[in-house]
Chains A and B, each alone.
Chain A
């Protein structure tokens, strides 16, 4: 049981609404230069989650009354058990998968559509873009990543699923209202006639520290900061990885953010002692669309 650190504000635990699964660990088919947990084909610091591990967590989650489930990595579709995992999850509640889109071929998209039709709960797919076109996106993600992500979007759309496209602030001008409208037009030009868009904050951790910069000493919360638990996902969410339960998806490289082996272990307040907590506090980072 970690003690509260008096130097930092504490976020209370309000109840487990959101459960994340680091379903592909830190293994990815890309090596993005802005990845806050430095995912890569050879990064095994967190391993793939297997079906029994997810089922155990789901049992606990159902008992605790979890509202929604998110799957990330790494690249979730690299986990061979992902479809079985999603099928089990969609019996318990809505599921969202965060993907780079590269593995979304027509066959997988058709399977996803069948999963969606078989559940009364929502199945949502989020595809990441880091720019308006290949020149920005591929500089961060690697050759042909943009075109392959767009192909994945189209495959989902053609299968009858409408993905949420998540765009980091790295896409020039996307954060403003006008930039957002232009980006929606860009998505329409790919054939997504009813585009859905979510703008993401960058966290200056992992690979992003080397691409951009790390956090400045001033970018930290102090005990004098008044926090709003409603704006912080750590007040109502947790992250399951192969190494235990962490407070959030952002801090899985920090042992101090590991709160236990089971969900029940993790249902307690947390000291916002990490610079990334400053980003969440300032920007009100939310999992929701």
Chain B
């Protein structure tokens, strides 16, 4: 009997080239179901190119804050930033995405579930965007201590919790054997100076196996298309260098220290 294996990824951010590469990689690695935890649009070009790929790769998708906002035709993404500069860039990304996303796609976003529960082997698994309690809550590794995660898992009645929203991947196994995984995002690099993007492969067994897969894609082409679409150069720079230039003020001390800016 083979073990069940799934692929889980976060924020596509309109990076349709990375989405295609990640889905192919996940199938090649034996994932039989692919899950996306929301935020289909944001920094990247041509948001409309994401939807056919989600369809052809049969990706099971839940809502992120972007989908909640776009479906409701809100004028802001509700990303949850507190810094004016971060919010200015978030607004630019959202306005571009809102303008270029087909109305039918916005309606479809409204039909997506906010969270997804699943039995994975003998474990219960819950997928959410920010956290089980709030779509735009940031769960960073350095500010999500084990006792707090235990409370979140208790309240959500699950043994495994998968989230995204922050853009930085991490996995914490609690002393009681339960797991919390922030799967990161595939829309932009993880502020580590690498241009690849990352997603999580989960394999069930006696021990839950959580493996990171780093995927290269044609990031130069994406950068060119972003420039052609007059997307802010700060976003393009991140794609080309792997270092974040925006969304920095929300980072806790440890995560901030790991980046370049």
Q: Chain A interface (Cβ within 8 Å of chain B)?
A: 15, 17, 61-68, 92-94, 116, 120-124, 160-162, 177, 180-181, 194, 196-197, 230, 286, 288-289
Contacts and interface: CB of A to CB of B under 8 A. Distances in A.
Contact of B148 (A67, A123, A177, A197): A67
Contacts of B134: 230
8 contacts: A65-B147, A65-B152, A66-B148, A92-B147, A94-B252, A122-B252, A194-B261, A196-B249
A123 B85 contact: no
Interface of B: 82, 84-85, 88, 134, 140-145, 147-152, 154-155, 249-257, 261
B145 A17 contact: no
B151 A64 contact: yes
Nearest to B149: A65
Given A162-B253, A162-B256, A194-B261, A67 B82 contact: no
Given A162-B256, A286-B82, 17 more contacts: A67-B145, A67-B148, A92-B147, A93-B145, A93-B147, A94-B143, A116-B254, A121-B143, A121-B254, A122-B140, A122-B143, A124-B252, A177-B85, A180-B84, A196-B256, A289-B82, A289-B251
B112 to A, nearest CB: 23
A286 B137 CA distance: 14
A289 B148 contact: no
Given A177-B88, A288-B82, A122 B253 contact: yes
Contact of B85 (A15, A61, A121, A181): A181
A94 B145 contact: yes
A162 B140 CA distance: 18
A68 B84 contact: no
Contacts of B257: 160, 162
A83 B143 CA distance: 20
Given A64-B151, A180-B85, A288-B82, A123 B253 contact: yes
Considering residues A63, A64, A116, A289, which has the most beta carbons from chain B within 10 angstroms of its beta carbon?
A289
Query: Which 5 interchain pairs have the tightest Cβ spacing?
Result: A65-B151, A93-B145, A122-B142, A67-B148, A122-B252
Contact of A161 (B82, B252, B253): B253
A67 B150 contact: no
A288 B80 CA distance: 11
A122 B85 contact: no
A229 to B, nearest CB: 12
B234 to A, nearest CB: 14
Nearest to A284: B82
Contacts of A94: 142-143, 145, 252
A65 B251 CA distance: 21
B147 to A, nearest CB: 5
Contacts of A120: 141-142
Given A289-B249, A289-B250, A93 B85 contact: no
Contacts of A160: 257
Nearest to A160: B257
A116 B82 contact: no
A61 B151 CA distance: 11
A196 B142 CA distance: 17
Contacts of A65: 147-152, 154
A177 B143 CA distance: 27
Nearest to A286: B82
